[in-house]
């Protein structure tokens, strides 16, 4: 159960593709139930949430086009 984007149940990490200047950064957080994606410029705002299966499908699709 996730209680919000800053819940202690989530471990957030910044994308390795995010620039060092602090703009256009994305963080990914995970819990037992889901994966969350948020904008580092608005950490208190909404986060996109998907289940782990869908996240793995998304990453696999990205690998085919990058």
> Is residue 2 included in any domain, yes or no?
no
Strand 26-30 versus strand 48-50 pairing type: unpaired
Q: Which residue has the tokens 């957080």?
A: 29
pLDDT tens by residue, 4-57? 555 555 678 887 776 666 667 888 898 888 999 988 888 888 889 999 999 999
Nearest CA-CA partner of 38 in 15, 58, 65, 16: 15
> Is residue 5 included in any domain, yes or no?
no
Domain span at 46: 11-65
Determine the straight-line distance between the first and last CA of the chain, rounded to whole angstroms.
Answer: 33
Q: How many domains does the chain have?
A: 1
How would you label 3-23 residue by residue, b for 16+ Cβ within 10 Å and e otherwise? eebeeeebebeeeeeeeeeee
> Is residue 4 included in any domain, yes or no?
no
In the prediction, which pLDDT does 33 show?
A: 84
């Amino acid at each position: 159960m996730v209680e919000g984007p800053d819940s202690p149940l989530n471990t957030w990490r910044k994308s390795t593709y995010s620039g060092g200047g602090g703009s256009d950064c994305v963080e990914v957080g995970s819990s037992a139930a889901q994966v969350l994606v948020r904008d580092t410029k608005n950490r208190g705002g909404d986060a996109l949430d998907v289940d782990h299966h869908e996240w793995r499908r998304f990453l696999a699709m990205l690998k085919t086009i990058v």
